[in-house]
Amino acid sequence: MKSALLFPGQGSQYPGMGKNLYDQFEIAKKRFETANEILGFDITELMFGDDAQVLKRTDVTQPSIYLHSVILFEMIRNKISPSMVAGHSLGEFSAVVASSALSFESGLKLVITRANAMQKACERNPGSMAAVIGLDIKTVDTVCQETSGTVQAANYNSPGQIVITGETSAIEKASEKLKSKGAKRVLLLPVSGAFHSPLMEEAKVELAQAVENTTFSTPEYPIYHNVNSKPSHSVDEIKSNLVEQLTSPVLWQQTIENIGKRGVSVFYEVGPKNVLSNLNKRILPNSEVIHGESLL
């Protein structure tokens, strides 16, 4: 029976995340301590604390989710035999590490570079994001194309759930049009900027330089990428796709559908919360989803 590993992105964080791993496993404890050294601040204090607000800061959220996901994977890797891996936005970096194409340390350095670059881009090019509930892909894409200003799909998450991103004024105009087209809800998201849009172009340049200066290896498992929903074993493709996803939509629904077509019927969500498990139930209702923490 084929299985795939799924790694979550921003939005899965919660106060206290990862503390059970730190307390239970000496190897996990060492990984967290190494992360504190690499980052130059005590991320374990922020992750294990009870301040949900600080965890929403991009420079804290991204490394926190990466750490929880990759360390959890390392704790359960001997209990699973995946055929392929995928990650949602930030989660793609965790997936690349799980595939052995990138070291734990190098992955963390890229993640914090990405987070800081995105935060700077948000400050220079303000924008917002909104979740559109109850409309099909074609309708959402058409409305975005017909709306003046910068607005496009950011995440094709599941049937009936698409996130749009762009300039705040364009998001507002598109939201009204989408409601008139029959959207059940259009919800403004509490994020700091327009992720996965052209407004992230500056961050993309900075990340590209960091990726180019990082050593990658041929992956052990095929990595399904956000930008095209297709698998890759090529180091050059992996590096390019990690950069391109900053300004491109996350083709998550298409990715899961493509993985399902390869005969995968069991998915493991490896990271905090169960956001991807819930999406999977809507994309492939007959698939089995197991959370990694249940294997500890």
Tokens 């949602």, located at residue: 88
Active-site annotation holds for 196: yes
Q: For residue 128, list its beta bridge partners.
A: 166
Is 3 among the residues known to form the active site?
no
Burial of 49 (0-12, 13-18, 19+ CB in 10 A): middle
**Tokens representing 87?**
């990650």
Residue whose tokens read 């990340």: 207
- DSSP result, 113-156: HHHHHHHHHHHHS--EEEEEES--HHHHHHHHHHSSSSEEEEEE
Residue 269 β-bridge partners: 6, 291
The CA distances from residue 245 to 32, 71, 178, 182, in Å, are 27, 24, 25, 29
Which residue of the set 12, 69, 192, 196 is catalytic?
Answer: 196
Distance in angstroms (rounded) separating the CA atoms of residues 76 and 290 = 12
Please tell me which residue in 89, 175, 197, 232 is annotated as part of the active site: 89
Is 209 in a helix, a strand, or coil? helix
Helix H, strand E, coil C: the string for 244-293 is: HCCCCCECHHHHHHHHHHCCEEEEEECCCCCHHHHHHHHHCCCCEEEEHH
The identity of residue 236, as a single letter, is: D
Distance spanning both ends of the chain, measured CA to CA: 21
Beta bridge partners of 156: 162
Buried b (16+ CB within 10 A) or exposed e, 69-87: bbbbbbbbeeeeebbbbbb
| Residues labelled as active-site residues | 89, 196
